[in-house]
Amino acid sequence: MIHVSTNPALHLVFDAAAWLSAAALGRFLYGWRLAPTVTATAATVGRGWFIGLGVGAALGGYLSGSLVSLAGPAPTLSHSIAGVIAGAIVGVEIYKALHGIKGSTGAAFAGPLALGIAVGRWGCLFAGLPDGTFGRPTTAPWGVELGDGVSRHPVQVYESLAMAAFVAVYLAGIARRAPWAMRRGFYVFCAWYGAQRFVWEFFKPYPSLLWGLDLFQFIALGLLAYGWLQFAADRGAERASDGRGPQERAVPVPRPDHEPVRDLPGAGSGQGDP
């Protein structure tokens, strides 16, 4: 068991660090790889996109967090990052549907969001029991004691490490200009966040909502499904727009060297996802 000195004020310190690190990474990615993507998105969406994002994030964050915390032994209002992400997606997707906007508009947020969560979760840990994000009791040697003499799963650390792993893989994909990162990074982020959050919820003492799952697990499953389905749909659209298909692959044409001709009119020349 590992004793952790806690102070609720530390949450604000790590919140600030999370925002600053996310902003710094976002600025770096823009200058490094994402400037064309962000510029194209900005030219497509209007101010309403940001309103939908903000309103959805606020409503989703506070509704989901408060529905759980108000049902606890010490009812209080709260917010949840899972609800923030889900609410923002709903708000943006409604706006996109109303304005006929297709494709991902969140490419710039994947890396910064993941890094912000990875940093911010340490604030939840050091804030201690009053934060309400502690894990279930455990006998594991890496259990943390937050001031009440009980060894608990460090669920905040689990999530932080999971999101840090995403950042590492995502940056590697950006470095290679991999389509999954450059074009569909936000969808991959949603799927990964949803999957890891669903797992860690089993180590938390939140009340069950249905079928032994808590509210955040249903939100996590929704994020996982959204990311997976949108990734598949966008990949299919990309292939269709590139004109790739079984009938449009390299066409063998008799030539002295018997090499396939790949530059016939209408033939696609792009590369698929790695």
Q: Which residue has the higher pLDDT, 184 or 242?
A: 184
Mean pLDDT of the 173-179 span: 96
Q: Which residue has the higher pLDDT, 270 or 30?
A: 30
Q: Which residue has the higher pLDDT, 186 or 252?
A: 186
Question: Is position 226 within any domain?
Answer: yes
Beta bridge mates, 2: 144
| Total domains in the fold of the chain | 1
Q: For 5-22, how does the pLDDT look when each residue is reduced to its tens digit (9 = 90+)? A: 999 999 999 999 999 999
Question: Is position 27 within any domain?
Answer: yes
Question: Is position 274 within any domain?
Answer: no
- Residue 223 CA, chain-centre distance (Å), reads 8
Q: Is the pLDDT assigned to residue 272 strictly greater than 50?
A: no
Residues 6+ apart with CB under 8 A from 167: 25, 111, 114, 115, 118
Mean pLDDT of the 246-267 span: 45
Domain span holding position 195: 2-238
Q: How confident is the model at residue 69 (pLDDT cuts 50, 70, 90)?
A: confident
- The confidence score (pLDDT) of residue 271 equals 44
Question: Is position 273 within any domain?
Answer: no
Q: For 232-250, how does the pLDDT look when each residue is reduced to its tens digit (9 = 90+)? A: 999 998 888 776 544 444 4
- Give me 17's structure tokens: 């660090």
- The confidence score (pLDDT) of residue 242 equals 74
**What is the average pLDDT value for the chain, to the nearest integer?**
89
3-state secondary structure the chain: CEECCCCCCHHHHHHHHHHHHHHHHHHHHHHHHHHHHHHHHHHHCCHHHHHHHHHHHHHHHHHHHHHHHCCCCCCCCCCCHHHHHHHHHHHHHHHHHHHCCCCCCCHHHHHHHHHHHHHHHHHHHHHCHHHCCCCCECCCCCCEECCCCCEECCHHHHHHHHHHHHHHHHHHHHHCCCHHHHCCHHHHHHHHHHHHHHHHHHHCCCCCCECCECHHHHHHHHHHHHHHHHHHHHHHHHHHHCCCCHHHCCEECCCCCCCEECCCCCCCCCCCCC
The Cα 223–Cα 216 span in angstroms is 10
Mean pLDDT of the 132-146 span: 96
Nearest to 166 by CA among 123, 122, 89, 110: 110
- The confidence score (pLDDT) of residue 226 equals 98
Question: Is position 243 within any domain?
Answer: no
Of 62-71, 185-194, 213-222, where does mean pLDDT reach its minimum? 62-71
Nearest to 188 by CA among 240, 242, 232: 232
- Give me 38's structure tokens: 């962000």
Of 68-82, 94-108, 207-221, 260-274, where does mean pLDDT reach its minimum? 260-274
Q: For 115-128, how does the pLDDT look when each residue is reduced to its tens digit (9 = 90+)? A: 999 999 999 999 99
Question: Is position 146 within any domain?
Answer: yes
- The confidence score (pLDDT) of residue 243 equals 62
